[in-house]
Structure 1
Amino acid sequence: MEQSLSRGRDKSEHYIFITGLGQDHHRFITKEPGQTGFDNRGETKMGACLDARFRVKTADGGANKYGLRLAGVDIDCDCLIEANSDGDVVIHALINAISGLGCPPFLGKPADALCRAGIKDSRVYLAESLRILQEIHPRLTVVHASFSIEALKPKLWLHIPAMRSSLAKLLNLPITSIGITATTGEGLSGMGRGEGIGVTCLLTAQEICPF
């Protein structure tokens, strides 16, 4: 958690801007003989938070019934994500960044408990994370969120406006406070080779200090 101090327009008010930092990795999922893949052990990516899932089928040959959902937006494509929940890697990265603001990690036992109760929608996990944030830091307000998505497919530029709008509603922010970029990674990683999706999220929050 990083902090910076600035003076507001009202000279009697000071603002602390806090940046949530965190990181999440998912190991390479072993594929069938003859298939190619990658192992991300030892790979470090700097950013507020990174979440990755891989486009593989489940053990029984099925696939996640949600297909591909990013930032709460369902995307029609042949890329299927394996996950216990809806596998929304954008929201998962956002949740981990919220934890980086000074909250206990939510993805893990709390999210697993909801999942076992049949709650698969990552937007519910996000709402609970924000509630916990307000309980722990009642004067802290998220003011900006920036996302960088790495994936060869699907092509996301047509979906970015809807994703920004969805995130703005979920965070109760103006759409101008949500930034999303997408890159293929030039094939330098598994995500860039079409084997999964990686998301880095940087959150900025503001707290008014009474001094």
Structure 2
Amino acid sequence: MNNFRVGHGYDVHKLEKGRKFVMGGIEIKHHKGAIGHSDADVVIHVICDALLGSLSLGDIGKHFPDTDEKYKGVDSKVLLQKVISLVKKNNYQISNVDVTVLLEKPKLRNHIDLMRETLSNIMDINVTQISIKATTTEGLGFVGREEGVAAHCVCLIKK
């Protein structure tokens, strides 16, 4: 029996001036925000994808399709709560999640602790089980040109 399972999530969102920028369940002041069917929270989206993948349950698009109007503009924290319910329903516990955000601006250093605290409350795990890191692409590609934000997440779940 598999007592441990690993999942990986990846997501990208285009950035646009004048939009709200939501990341890790919090709003960050910036002149650009991410575009998406929901609130475009790239951190929560990669966590959802990693957890769903670890359970072999597909991805966020399968569970919360962008063709379904009930998810238009939805707070991604609601999606994460539903994914956490699936983890528990399948008798797994989250060992840890490790997120890397690729973004030129704004710098996330001063927001990471609040993101981790917010996520730990939603996920019902200790803040020490959540790692969020941010890096730039040194001016290269769509992230470097400040056209978009990308993120990766790896998670470990256990019975």
- Confirm or deny a common fold (TM above 0.5): yes
Amino acid at match of 2:10: L
> How far apart are the structure 2 equivalents of 1:114 and 1:98?
22
If you compute each CA radius of gyration, which structure gives the higher value, 1 or 2?
1
Kindly tell me the number of residue pairs found equivalent between the two proteins.
Answer: 157
Larger helix fraction of residues: 2
If asked which structure has higher relative contact order (CA below 8 Å, sep 6+), I would say 2
Aligned-residue identity in percent: 28
Q: Provide structure 1 residue ranges, at least 5 long, that are not aligned to the other structure.
A: 4-15, 21-47, 58-62
Counterpart check, 1:18 vs 2:5: yes
Contact 1:103 1:133 (8 Å CA) reproduced: no
Q: Match of 1:117?
A: 70
Q: CA deviation at 1:106?
A: 4.5
Instruction: Give 2:11's match in structure 1, choosing from 51, 59, 62.
Output: 51
Relative distance call for 1:78 and 1:90 in structure 2 (3 A) is same
Q: Match of 1:101?
A: 54
Task: Give the alignment's TM-score, normalised by structure 2.
Answer: 0.88
Moved over 6 A (4+): none
> How far apart are the structure 1 equivalents of 2:127 and 2:104?
26
Q: CA deviation at 1:189?
A: 2.7
Larger strand fraction of residues: 2
Deviation larger for 48-57 or 161-170: 48-57
Q: CA deviation at 1:113?
A: 7.1
> How far apart are the structure 2 equivalents of 1:56 and 1:110?
26
RMSD of Structure 2 on Structure 1 (CA)? 2.0
Q: CA deviation at 1:118?
A: 5.6
Relative distance call for 1:82 and 1:159 in structure 2 (3 A) is same
Counterpart check, 1:160 vs 2:112: yes
Deviation larger for 154-163 or 103-112: 103-112
Amino acid at match of 1:18: R
Task: Give the alignment's TM-score, normalised by structure 1.
Answer: 0.68
